[in-house]
Chain A
Amino acid sequence: MALLEVRNLKTTFKTEDGIVAAVNGLSFSIDPGSTLGIVGESGSGKSVTSLSIMRLLASNGRIESGEVLFKGEDLLEKSEAEMRKIRGRDIAMIFQDPMTSLNPVLTVGEQIAEATRLHLGLNKREATAKAIDMLRLVRIPAAEKRLNDYPHQFSGGMRQRVMIAMALSCDPAVLIADEPTTALDVTIQAQIIELMNEMQARLGSAIILITHDLGVVAETCRNVLVMYGGNMVEYGTAMQIFDAPKMPYTMGLLESLPRLDQAGSRLVPIEGQPPNLLRMPPGCAFEPRCRYRMPICKEPVSLYDFGGAHLARCFLYDQRTEGERTLPVESAPILPGTAVAPPQEARP
């Protein structure tokens, strides 16, 4: 059984301009001890996915439908009191900006101890000892002294280490890391990635790494989920995604990236602009920018199964488009259970 399984998640936000479906029908799962990278650009729904799993949406956000099964139990059915016990203990999260997610008026020792006292029932002395252990584990020098420092006394990289120490202090089964290195300089990013890889090997937490950086994904993740316009457009192992991408959006992303190990031939950009979530096309979200688009792409699109758990949401692989497609590819079967009906009337 998967450790965490998201089924058909739909999350909407009420905005001044109307209701926006930030995540629209997303399904995926993660096994114990594995690493899943969720990649996507701004507005693709990757952060909203993690906040939905944690039930930490802003007040204008609402989970419309779906299930989030953690060890078989639906987190969306839990009371707020039950969720508070799960957050931090079973599923922990680290954020992009450690300065805004640490409490500036508490010492880092107090903040780490708070989690272990609450979730593990440690007394004050035990919690302090545990906090020192955790700070040592994330290799903060002079941990006993730094325990009494406030977040502003740490550098950006050190603060992110404190966040990781806090997140891992209760030995969570799942760690969700939302852009954990985006605010850091590259030499510091390398330190933090190394630390996360090492922590995972030692503690065995499953990690969901949310990022826009395909390089970071290639370096850390076994499996990769590519999001576009609020839903998954491709899923596979890192090898499948980087070596044999199926979805034109994934192909386009990889082609448009300048690479450190290759000198400058002209970049192939993805034309057009990211989708406006208020005006999503009824069919494939990428259709307006896709160089292989066909008339059928304006209809809702299923997931196609390439074997070995490699999936893509694209009509190029539908048998019906065999004579029509402009990219020479083989058809693939629709993943059972994901076939979508022809377009329905929009709800009022």
Chain B
Amino acid sequence: MSDRRDLVVVRDLRKYFPITAGILQRHVADVKAVDGIDFEIRAGETLGLVGESGSGKTTAGRVILRLADATGGSVTFDGRELIGLSRSELRPLRKEMQIIFQDPYASLNPRMTVGSIIREPLEIHDIAHGAQAEARVQELLRLVGLQPQHANRYPHEFSGGQRQRVGVARALAVGPKFIVADEPVSALDVSIQAQVINLLQDLQQQFGLTYLFIAHDLSVVRHISNRVAVMYVGKIVEIADRDRLYDNPLHPYTQALLSAIPIPDPDVERRRKRIILSGDIPSPVNPPSGCRFHTRCPVAFERCRVEVPAFTEYEPGHRAACHWVEEHGGKAPDLSAGPAVLT
């Protein structure tokens, strides 16, 4: 995997939403949803982006696709800088990059048939018209596991899992290279989730797609991703190959996040040690100084309060932003023992 070229390169990407007040709409503060993130997505891989609410993961996905304008930083796609391109310059690139949304109920127009929902991008991008477009719609429906006759139905006639398949077909219609999947299975029932995950994996194989898979469910992310990045209040705190991140997490937040996920096996659950973080997730309006995790971190010390930790590579491909790890030569703190455990 590591010999693959980078398809998407994100550098110091920032997205602030201004907060205004008063009749003059005076700019009083910013919601720093994404506050300087760096990563690469290699062609043909799935990068999992995980985080809790307010971490900025969804905003990151939208800014990368230029569905929202960046405040600063750079995103290159296949070697082309996206930040700063005009709408007309972006249009041809939109064929290459698509998005699948979380809520299959809200992301399909209820007044359009499924066929016209899937046909619309074909016509907008001048890919196919008339009978040719019709044939392509039928082919796409089959590809995502629906029946060609479903083209004449409306979204409300489908179950959640089937609607998500329609969303996938729409994204695939224009033949993209890169798909941002924003919580694509979290609104679905457990027995349907696996169907959609398998579909996404099959399509990736078949078409050599590159995914940015945004989710809060670390079990799903472990299953589907080659590499995983963890976000916390607008920053990436750790990134590594999938197994490395899950087996040897360096950052205390990654450790706590992993230990918080219940495993559906009472045997395993009884033997597991759990790190319970105290406190709430801070607001991105007024994020904590220094390391943003220091208010909840069991091993935080003075430096964490004042200095923003550097995003440092400790092993090839394994980067983390933590003063404790840096001062201990790349070693992860042991949070499961002694007074460091907060209950």
A interface vs B, CB < 8 Å?
41-42, 155, 157-158, 185-191, 193-194, 212-219, 238-239, 242-243, 252-254, 256-261, 263-264, 266-271, 273-274
Partner of B280, one of A188, A218, A260, A271: A188
Please determine whether B189 and A274 come into contact, CB atoms closer than 8 angstroms: yes
Chain B positions within 8 Å of A264 at CB level? 222-224, 242
B203 to A: closest C-beta gap in Å: 14
Q: What distance in Å separates the Cβ of B186 from its nearest Cβ neighbour in chain A?
A: 11
Residues of B within 8 A of A238 (CB): 266
Q: How far is the CB of B177 from chain A (nearest CB, A)?
A: 23
Interface residues of B in 195-227 (CB under 8 A from A): 195, 197-198, 201, 216, 218-220, 222-224
B260 touches A256 (CB 8 A): no
Instruction: Return the contact of B197 from the options A157, A259, A267 (Cβ within 8 A).
Output: A267
Of chain B, the residue at the smallest CB distance from A289 is B191
Q: Which residue of B lies closest to A261 (CB)?
A: B263
**Which among A253, A263, A264, A271 has the highest number of chain B CB atoms within 10 Å?**
A264
Report yes or no: A274 in contact with B265, Cβ–Cβ below 8 A.
no
Given known A257-B264, A264-B223, contact A186–B276 (CB-CB < 8 A): no
Known: A269-B198, A273-B161. A253 touches B191 (CB 8 A): yes
Q: Which residue of A41, A186, A273 contacts B190 across the interface (Cβ within 8 Å)?
A: A41
The contact string, 1 if C-beta is below 8 Å from chain A, for chain B 218-247, is 111011100000000000000000110010
Question: Within 8 Å of chain A (Cβ to Cβ): is B194?
Answer: yes
Q: In the bound complex, do residue A268 and residue B280 qualify as a contact, i.e. CB atoms below 8 Å apart?
A: no
In the assembled complex, B332 has its CB within 8 A of some CB on chain A = no
Chain B residues with Cβ below 8 Å from A193 are 262
Tell me if A214 and B264 are in contact (CB < 8 A).
yes
State the CA gap A149–B281 with chains docked (Å). Answer: 20
Residue of A with least CB distance to B264: A214
CA distance A271 to B259 in the complex (A): 31
B276-311 residues at the A interface, CB under 8 angstroms: 276-278, 280-281
Q: Which of B4-12, B37-45, B267-275 contacts A (4 or more CB under 8 A)?
A: B267-275
Q: Is the interface of B mostly helix, strand, loop or mixed?
A: helix
From A187, A189, A243, A266, contact of B281 by CB (8 A)? A187
Residue of B nearest to A264 (CB): B223
Is there contact, CB below 8 Å, between A155 and B280? yes
B256 at the interface (CB under 8 A from A): yes
Complex: A112 Cα to B189 Cα, angstroms: 34
Measured CB to CB, the nearest residue on chain A to B343 is A194
Smallest beta-carbon distance B266→chain A, Å: 4
Are A186 and B280 closer than 8 Å at their CB atoms?
A: no
Cross-chain contact B274 with A256 (CB below 8 angstroms): no
Does B20 interact with chain A (Cβ within 8 Å)?
no
Interface core residue of A191, A193, A219 (most chain B CB under 10 Å): A219
Asked if A186 and B260 make an inter-chain contact with CB atoms under 8 angstroms apart, the answer reads yes
Chain B interface residue number, banded: 35 or more
Residue B193 interfacial (CB < 8 Å): yes
- In the bound complex, residues from chain A placing their C-beta under 8 Å from that of B224 are 258, 264
Known: A187-B277, A215-B264, A267-B223. 10 other contacts (CB 8 A): A187-B281, A215-B262, A218-B264, A218-B265, A256-B193, A258-B219, A259-B219, A260-B246, A261-B263, A266-B198
Residues of A within 8 A of B191 (CB): 41, 252-253, 256, 269-270, 274
State A239–B270 Cα separation when bound (angstroms): 11
Roughly how many angstroms separate A155 CA and B52 CA in the complex, as a whole number?
A: 14
For B143, the chain A residues whose CB sits under 8 A away are: none
Q: With an 8 A cutoff between CB atoms, is B159 at the interface?
A: yes
15 A-B residue pairs with CB within 8 Å: A157-B280, A186-B52, A189-B260, A190-B277, A215-B261, A217-B264, A253-B191, A257-B219, A257-B264, A259-B222, A259-B263, A263-B223, A264-B242, A269-B192, A270-B191
Complex-state Cα separation, A270 to B196, whole angstroms: 11
Q: Is B258 an interface position by the 8 A CB rule?
A: yes
Contact A212 to B280, CB < 8 A, known contacts A185-B53, A258-B220, A258-B222: no
Whether B264 lies near A269 (C-beta < 8 A) is no
The interface residues of chain A lying within 8 Å CB-to-CB of B343 are: 194
- Is B127 located at the chain interface by the 8 A CB criterion? no
In Å, the complex CA distance between A72 and B180 comes to 56
Whether A271 contacts B195 by the Cβ 8 Å rule is yes
Q: In whole angstroms, how far apart are the Cα atoms of A260 and B201 in the complex? A: 18
Task: Report chain A residues within 8 Å CB of B280.
Answer: 155, 157-158, 188
Q: Roughly how many angstroms separate A8 CA and B246 CA in the complex, as a whole number?
A: 46
Q: Please measure, in the bound complex, the distance between the C-alpha atom of A97 and the C-alpha atom of B193, giving whole angstroms.
A: 23
When distances are taken between beta carbons in the complex, the residues of chain B under 8 Å from A259 are 219, 222, 263-265
User: In the complex the two chains form, is A260's CB within 8 Å of B277's CB?
Assistant: no
Report the bound CA distance from A269 to B276 in whole Å.
32
Q: Specify the chain B residue showing the minimal Cβ separation from A228.
A: B191
Of the candidates A190, A252, A263, A273, the one whose C-beta lies within 8 Å of that of B260 is: A190
Q: What distance in Å separates the Cβ of B60 from its nearest Cβ neighbour in chain A?
A: 17
Q: A41-B189, A254-B264, A259-B219 are in contact. Are A191 and B194 (CB under 8 A)?
A: no
